[in-house]
Structure 1
Amino acid sequence: MQARAQVLRVEGGQVWLKVADVGGGCGRCDEPGGCRSLQITQAFGAPKGEFVLPLSVPVQVGDRVLITIPDGAPLSAALASYGLATVLLVLGAAIGNGFAGSGEGDLFALVGAGAGLAVAWVLNRLLARSRNWRYRLRMELAPATACVHTLQASR
């Protein structure tokens, strides 16, 4: 996933960027029913007009740059946050229901589902602290004229 951006400010080893791309793919990003899948500013949170990245290449205010996110990173993040929670919620409810006595199935399933969600929350917090995990979800900065595949192959 990649997008072109303009440098707004460079300060203290960080660069403030404004994304210039407004979509791609099928061209239905902003239409009703469009998936907006190429909106790089929304990949890991709420839409933002500008955001900050560590300064990894020399740039100046007004320069055009290319921002890249590794292939599969948004899917991995979504599966870890939503998939893990969903699986543990259902598994917790099933285990809780298995411990229930006569007429107490709903209560035990609810408690088990809550416990499953709590475990998912803890696991996601631990995953977010993992240096390896954060590296997989990184955003990289390159000059707008750079070939992204060449940059990734050289690592």
Structure 2
Amino acid sequence: MLRVEHGRVWLKLTDRAGGCGRCDEPGGCHSVQISHVFGPPQGEFVLPASIPVSPGDRVLISIPDGAPLNAALVSYGLGTLLLLAGAATGSLLAPEGGGDLYAVAGGAAGLLLAWTLNRVLTRSRNWRSHLRLELAPDGACMSPPQGSQ
């Protein structure tokens, strides 16, 4: 942890696990490197200070079960679905001999719609509440929330 100010905690990630952990070993697929296409991942971020902590403390970050899967399905699944639906719609609406161009235009429109919907979702408090991160002291065992058994 870097600092605590105004009820917020500035954290720096120390564990950079990804994939199967064999990225740089012989036979590893190096697939985690796709996450570095637009630059290295941001190593610092801010969370609400939900537990008493001091600079230099190590903490764990908890995320609800299913949240990463739901986020991936919406992010990638929505784009894929709307790309295909847009391309199919474009092909159906195309005049004779113009199917490919209309399919490409429809697919691009589907991707644009998916991008717009994903931007709207990231600004939605309801959506973000399902992706909440929580702090716990280092070594703590996170228990499921009450009533989620």
* TM range, smaller chain: 0.7 to 0.9
What is the distance in 1 between the residues matched to 2:30 and 2:45?
24
Q: Which runs of 5+ in 2 are unaligned?
A: none
Q: 1:28 is paired with a residue of what secondary structure?
A: coil
Among 111, 129, 133, which residue is 2:127 paired with?
A: 133
When the two structures are aligned, how many residues end up with a matched partner?
140
Q: Supply the AA of the counterpart residue of 1:33.
A: C
Among 131, 145, 148, which residue is 1:153 paired with?
A: 145
Check whether the contact 1:28–1:35 (CA below 8 A) recurs between aligned residues. no
Q: Supply the AA of the counterpart residue of 1:102.
A: E
Q: Does 2:114 align with 1:120?
A: yes
What are the Cα deviations for residues 73-117 of structure 1, in whole angstroms up to 9, with x where unaligned?
Answer: 222112111111111111111111101111111121122112211
Aligned position for 1:11 = 5
Matches within 5 A, 1:26-105: 27-28=21-22, 31=25, 32-33=28-29, 47-105=41-99
TM-score, reference length from structure 1: 0.77
Check whether the contact 1:67–1:142 (CA below 8 A) recurs between aligned residues. yes
How far residue 24 of structure 1 moved from its aligned partner, in angstroms, is 8.1
What percent identity do the matched residue pairs reach? 61
Instruction: Give the direction of change, closer, same or farther, for the CA distance of 1:94–1:49 in structure 2 (3 Å limit).
Output: same
Q: 1:81 is paired with a residue of what secondary structure?
A: helix
Q: Which runs of 5+ in 1 are unaligned?
A: 1-6, 37-41
TM-score, reference length from structure 2: 0.79
Instruction: Give the direction of change, closer, same or farther, for the CA distance of 1:126–1:28 in structure 2 (3 Å limit).
Output: same
What is the distance in 2 between the residues matched to 1:104 and 1:143?
61
Q: Supply the AA of the counterpart residue of 1:94.
A: A
What are the Cα deviations for residues 107-150 of structure 1, in whole angstroms up to 9, with x where unaligned?
Answer: 2112211221122122212222222210111211111242202x
1 or 2, which has the higher strand percentage? 1
How far residue 153 of structure 1 moved from its aligned partner, in angstroms, is 2.8
